[in-house]
Amino acid sequence: PAQQPLQGVKVTITAGPTREAIDPVRYISNHSSGKMGYALATAAAALGADVTLISGPVQLATPTGVTRIDVTTAEQMYVSSMQQASNSDIFIGCAAVADFRVAALASQKIKKTADNDGLTLQLVKNPDIIASVAAMSAQRPFTVGFAAETEKVAEYARQKLQKKNLNLICANDVSDPALGFNSEQNAITVYSTTAEFALGQRSKTDLAQALISLIYEQYQHEKKH
């Protein structure tokens, strides 16, 4: 059998978009495919980790040996994440969580009328899941976030690392259509408070394997200090 260096290590990963209902037939969401999170779950499970994948709505099969929890909204993802986090060694927030949800969900389909030329939706902020995990006072897992940026990638990534109190942040430049959202290829730079690691352009599968190895190394390094 292949080497199982992550045997006994509990890894929780969020993946995919969240979906925020407007009325019974409409929602607000984003273009996240979930591929990166699913590739990370696959890579971690292949190394023997005990993997839980908290997934928004995606068109992907559950990786072999992975426990999958399906959620729809950011609030559901938050509840599930907080439940899993206290019993996780490593928490990786790969989901593209909707920053806002509709303040008042309409119970019936919103109708267009002859006298309305527009419609205003009031939105309220969703909880920041990964910042909440990283702020846990007891049983806090080693916490890894993602940052998809279109400019000043390093600067914004370092700001997020600090502001959300993460151990690592994985940053990718989504202004390049060949990389990031919905593509098969990706390139990522990982930042800790003291170092950075560049993982150049490669398939999401290869990138996920390199990322899991790097995250595990940094997790072990942190445990020793």
Check residue 128 for interaction with ligand C5P (CB under 6 A): yes
Check residue 126 for interaction with ligand C5P (CB under 6 A): yes
Contact range with ligand C5P by CB under 6 A, out of 46-54, 110-118, 126-134, 201-209: 126-134
Distance in angstroms (rounded) separating the CA atoms of residues 61 and 118: 40
Least Cβ distance, residue 4 to ligand C5P (angstroms) = 27
E strand segments, 64-219: 67-70, 90-93, 100-102, 123-125, 142-149, 168-173, 185-191, 196-203
Which residue, 20 or 50, is less far from ligand C5P as judged by CB? 20
Distance in angstroms (rounded) separating the CA atoms of residues 164 and 150: 20
Residues in binding site: 93-95, 99, 109, 127-130, 146, 160, 164
Distance in angstroms (rounded) separating the CA atoms of residues 76 and 71: 6
Which residue, 128 or 173, is less far from ligand C5P as judged by CB? 128
CA dist 191 → 20, 48, 126, 171 (Å): 31, 25, 25, 8
Indicate which residues carry an active-site annotation: 30
Give the residues lining the site for ligand C5P (CB under 6 A). Answer: 14, 74, 93-95, 97, 99, 126, 128-130, 145-147, 160
